[in-house]
């Protein structure tokens, strides 16, 4: 059956409104069960307290979703195996056993649960959380172990013998190690032992590469030569440290400053402040009264959620404000090969620049990552003129690129000459990571005198293009530059970055080095990393929506480039992605695209506006009722205070409405009905029974009821032993009794 257009449109709008409400932040009840905010509980010897919370200690919102007393990501589960308890936390769906929580330093010590199985465990996943877990971050004690599983080094093409020898030293050879389900060899490296060429070669020949964080102090104090024979298991079992941050949410900060605990939804939305008196505040525990208007809050929240729908429809009726388009060939939607190097976003081809949003020569990628594919040779420029051949690019949590000076690569003399330093422009997002970088220092055309003679132990470069120089030139590793002011004795001095491990075992003053040995080190190039911390928030939001970041020649973010050729100011719409990529549909459930005929826009806007107007009228009515009730309470409060002062010798005790509700189990058992209202059975905290009489019908603002309370209080005096107490209540919701 085909639905009429108007009915279909109404149905889709209903889905949109439902999605908006269901995906917004649910409202908390006015009170909560204090057991979910217990000061401390234990699991397996680990103390668990706020901002951590147990997975089975949560409350329910009005729409039956869970809320926590603590930060969403700090949920701890306590598993029970016989009598043994084990606390664990989940990161990206993987379990990590908690060894310790140190509240003073805000540190939690975790170990991969897989790593606790046997002396030579087989780890099966990387540890990832990053921006998805805003409360967690690594500490400065972090180091890494990198595992290569299912490796087959005997496959063609033949591997470099030097790499084979290095890999043999790191092959896992435990007796009880199981590489299932992979076949082949397995290897383990520390971060200091693993250089980029080794990593790249092994990654191509192994079925799985896993990087596991460990405690750097534990790793450094271990016998690292014994890691492959089982030592790595001992290091893994000591775990790694994560730090948790205080909530960056301003509302949560105010809540905690008022001695409250922050409540969050399962999608990390701040819901309210849980106070010590069991009340829930929308702000903090100094403004508890605001929490009593939960119905008002829910209505206002609903109105606010309808407002975006109206704005969307108004925008739709007037067209898209960010309607510019671009040539989609600018963006590398899938990896493209140049030579034997795979080029992917955030790199881009230098020839693929266009005008976007009136910005000429804009590009799809990060500043400084332009690749020029010249005759099958990938070239990257630094500072506009210095050209470097790209040896390889490793994409991962940190993207690394290996570069070699193009003049050095193309030099056929065997002794390449260097005529510039390597400098990275300020606009570029590339940087020296510092882990694998060393330097060669060139001193060209040096003049020595009797006052500054040439040291006898150092030999000049003696090959190729350097022979025709009238004065000697030298090259040294940075750490072996001889003492003295060589830069003043020589016409030019250049520093060139190289891979640190390439210098290992080289005799920097031998004949081989001074003839062509240094050239081999230069041709291996150096490594830079992409500094993604420079990515601005608008670029991050764009990429989260499956878009690509567009930048101007000045390095300024100019828009979000979507797969269908649209340019958005911040992020791609779901309609921009249809048919281009697999998406997490739940993220866009509120924005599912649908086509609305133009002639219906006015009717839709009018209808939505009417709903909003109704919401505002309801809000005004509720506000008036609340104000009227407040006046009545304020009017009755002086009589209560006067009564307490006049009858001080009777020791009257004041109870809150919440306490009376708890005494009577929410007024569950009615004993009878008096002249002013019903009487209910209740129990004091010490077990004694009381009768609770509530005022319902009275004239004179309850004056008659107050007089009766005073009269009966004198006849049922508190000093009369075990006689049944009668608790008289001036009940108006929100007031004290």
| Run of H or E residues at 391 | strand 386-394
Is residue 315's pLDDT more than 60? no
Q: pTM for the whole thing? A: 0.42
User: Rounded distance, CA 70 to CA 263, Å?
Assistant: 6
Average pLDDT over residues 138-166: 82
Q: Is 254 part of any known ligand binding site?
A: no
pLDDT in tens, 194-232: 777 778 788 888 888 888 999 888 888 888 889 999 899
- Same domain, residue pair 511 and 653: no
Is residue 313's pLDDT more than 60? no
pLDDT in tens, 62-105: 777 889 999 988 999 998 888 889 999 988 778 899 999 988 87
Lowest mean pLDDT among 439-443, 532-536, 703-707, 718-722: 718-722
- Same domain, residue pair 657 and 523: no
> What is the band of 722 on the pLDDT scale with cuts at 50, 70, 90?
very low
448 φψ region: left (φ > 0), alpha (ψ -120 to 50), beta (else) = beta
The 270-274 sheet, strands edge to edge? 59-60, 66-69, 261-265, 270-274, 280-281
- Same domain, residue pair 381 and 517: yes
- The confidence score (pLDDT) of residue 595 equals 38
Lowest mean pLDDT among 9-18, 46-55, 154-163: 9-18
Average pLDDT over residues 695-707: 61
> Domain for residue 282, yes or no?
no
- Same domain, residue pair 373 and 522: yes
> Domain for residue 268, yes or no?
no
The 94-102 sheet, strands edge to edge? 53-54, 75-81, 84-91, 94-102, 107-112, 240-244, 136-138
- The confidence score (pLDDT) of residue 515 equals 74
pLDDT in tens, 7-27: 444 444 444 444 444 444 567
Is residue 402's pLDDT more than 50? yes
> Domain for residue 669, yes or no?
yes
218 exposure class (CB count in 10 Å sphere: 0-12, 13-18, 19+)? middle
User: Rounded distance, CA 679 to CA 576, Å?
Assistant: 65
> Domain for residue 39, yes or no?
no
How many domains would you assign to the chain?
Answer: 2
- Asked whether the beta carbons of 510 and 517 are under 8 A apart, the reply is yes
- Asked whether the beta carbons of 494 and 441 are under 8 A apart, the reply is yes
> What is the band of 699 on the pLDDT scale with cuts at 50, 70, 90?
low
For every residue of 17-58, DSSP letters joined together read HHHHHHHSPPPPPSB--GGGG-S-EEETTEEE-TT-EETT--
> Domain for residue 634, yes or no?
no
- Of 503, 533, 563, the residue at which a domain comes to its end is 533
- Of 533, 566, 587, the residue at which a domain comes to its end is 533
Phi/psi of residue 607, nearest 5 degrees: -65, -45
Strand 567-568 and strand 557-561: pairing? antiparallel
- The confidence score (pLDDT) of residue 363 equals 95
Strand 53-54 and strand 59-60: pairing? unpaired
| Selection from 204, 163, 205 nearest residue 185 by Cα | 205
Average pLDDT over residues 578-592: 41
39 φψ region: left (φ > 0), alpha (ψ -120 to 50), beta (else) = alpha
| Selection from 60, 28, 85 nearest residue 76 by Cα | 85
- Both tokens assigned to 338: 């140049």
> What is the band of 502 on the pLDDT scale with cuts at 50, 70, 90?
confident
pLDDT in tens, 637-689: 455 656 555 565 555 676 777 678 778 877 778 888 776 678 888 888 667 78
> Domain for residue 500, yes or no?
yes
Average pLDDT of the chain is 76
- Same domain, residue pair 529 and 384: yes
| Selection from 602, 544, 556, 576 nearest residue 320 by Cα | 576
> Domain for residue 437, yes or no?
yes
In the chain, the N- to C-terminal Cα span, in Å, equals 62
User: Rounded distance, CA 717 to CA 643, Å?
Assistant: 16
CA angle 123, 128, 133 (to 5 degrees): 140
- Of 486, 512, 533, the residue at which a domain comes to its end is 533
User: Rounded distance, CA 402 to CA 423, Å?
Assistant: 15
- The confidence score (pLDDT) of residue 422 equals 86
pLDDT above 90: percentage of residues in the chain? 18
pLDDT in tens, 596-627: 444 444 555 555 566 667 667 666 665 565 55
> Domain for residue 426, yes or no?
yes
- The confidence score (pLDDT) of residue 103 equals 87
Peptide bond into 378 cis (omega under 30): no
User: Rounded distance, CA 411 to CA 414, Å?
Assistant: 7
Scanning 148-283, the segments in alpha helix (DSSP H) are 161-169, 196-205, 216-221, 231-237, 250-257
> What is the band of 261 on the pLDDT scale with cuts at 50, 70, 90?
very high
> Range of 716's domain?
647-729
């Amino acid at each position: 059956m085909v639905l009429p257009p108007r009915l279909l449109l109404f149905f889709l709008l209903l889905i949109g409104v439902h999605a908006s409400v269901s995906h917004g932040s649910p409202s908390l009840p006015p009170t909560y069960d204090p057991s979910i905010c217990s000061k401390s509980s234990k699991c397996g010897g680990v103390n668990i307290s706020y901002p951590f919370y147990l997975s089975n200690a949560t409350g329910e919102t009005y729409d039956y979703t869970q809320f926590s007393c603590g930060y969403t990501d700090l949920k701890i589960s306590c598993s029970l195996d016989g009598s043994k308890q084990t606390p664990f936390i989940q990161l990206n769906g993987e379990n990590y056993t908690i060894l310790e929580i140190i509240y003073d330093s805000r540190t939690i010590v975790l170990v991969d649960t897989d790593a606790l199985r046997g002396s030579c465990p087989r780890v099966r996943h990387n540890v990832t959380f990053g921006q998805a877990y805003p409360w967690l971050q690594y500490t400065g004690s972090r180091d890494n172990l990198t595992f290569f599983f299912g490796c087959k080094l005997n496959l063609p093409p033949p591997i470099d013998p030097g790499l084979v020898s290095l890999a043999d030293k790191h092959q896992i050879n435990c007796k009880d190690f199981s590489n299932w389900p992979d076949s082949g060899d397995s290897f383990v490296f520390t971060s200091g032992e693993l250089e980029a060429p080794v990593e790249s070669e092994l990654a191509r020949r192994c079925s799985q590469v896993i990087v596991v964080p460990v405690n750097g102090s534990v790793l450094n104090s271990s016998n690292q030569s014994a890691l492959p024979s089982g030592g790595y298991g001992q290091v893994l079992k000591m775990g790694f440290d994560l730090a948790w941050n205080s909530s960056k949410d301003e509302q949560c900060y105010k809540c905690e400053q008022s001695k409250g605990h922050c409540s969050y939804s399962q999608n990390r939305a701040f819901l309210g402040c849980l106070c010590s008196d069991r009340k829930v505040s929308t702000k903090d525990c100094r403004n508890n009264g605001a929490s009593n208007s939960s119905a008002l809050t829910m209505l206002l929240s609903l109105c606010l959620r309808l407002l975006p729908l109206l704005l969307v429809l108004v925008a739709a009726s007037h067209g898209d404000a960010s309607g510019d388009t671009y040539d989609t060939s600018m963006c590398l939607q899938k990896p493209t090969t140049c030579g034997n190097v795979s080029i992917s976003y955030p790199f881009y081809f230098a020839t693929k620049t266009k005008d976007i949003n009136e910005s000429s020569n804009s590009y799809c990628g990060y500043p400084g990552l332009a690749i020029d594919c010249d005759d099958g040779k990938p070239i990257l420029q630094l500072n506009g003129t210095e050209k470097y051949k790209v040896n390889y690019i490793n994409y991962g949590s940190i993207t690394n690129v290996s570069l070699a000076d193009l003049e050095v690569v193309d030099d056929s003399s065997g002794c390449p000459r260097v005529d510039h330093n390597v400098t990275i422009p300020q606009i570029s997002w590339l940087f020296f990571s510092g882990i694998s970088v060393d330097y060669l220092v060139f001193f060209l055309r040096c003049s020595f005198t009797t006052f500054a003679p040439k040291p006898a132990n150092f030999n000049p470069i003696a090959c190729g293009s350097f022979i025709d120089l009238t004065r000697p030139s030298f090259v040294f590793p940075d750490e072996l530059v001889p003492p003295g002011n060589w830069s003043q004795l020589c016409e030019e001095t250049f520093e060139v970055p190289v891979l640190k491990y390439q210098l290992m075992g080289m005799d920097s003053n031998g004949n081989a080095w001074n003839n062509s040995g240094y050239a081999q080190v230069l041709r291996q190039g150096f490594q830079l990393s992409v500094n993604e911390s420079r990515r601005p928030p608008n670029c991050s939001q764009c990429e989260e929506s499956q878009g690509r970041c567009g930048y101007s020649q000045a390095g300024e973010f100019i828009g979000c480039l979507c797969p269908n050729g649209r340019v958005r100011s911040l992020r791609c719409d779901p309609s921009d992605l249809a048919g281009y990529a697999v998406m997490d549909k739940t993220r866009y459930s509120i924005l599912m695209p649908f086509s609305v005929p133009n002639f219906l826009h006015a009717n839709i806007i009018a209808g939505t506006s009417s709903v909003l107007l109704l919401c505002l009228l309801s809000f005004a009515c509720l506000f008036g009722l609340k104000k009227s009730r407040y006046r009545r309470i304020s009017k009755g409060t002086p009589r209560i205070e006067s009564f307490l002062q006049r009858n001080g010798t009777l020791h009257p005790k004041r109870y809150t409405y919440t306490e009376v509700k708890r005494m009577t189990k929410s007024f569950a058992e009615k004993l009878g009905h008096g002249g002013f209202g019903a009487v209910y059975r209740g129990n004091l905290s010490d077990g004694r029974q009381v009768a609770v009489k509530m005022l319902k019908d009275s004239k004179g603002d309850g004056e008659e009821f107050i007089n009766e309370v005073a009269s009966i209080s004198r006849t049922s005096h508190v000093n009369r032993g075990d006689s049944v107490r009668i608790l008289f209540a001036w009940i108006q919701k929100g007031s004290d009794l």
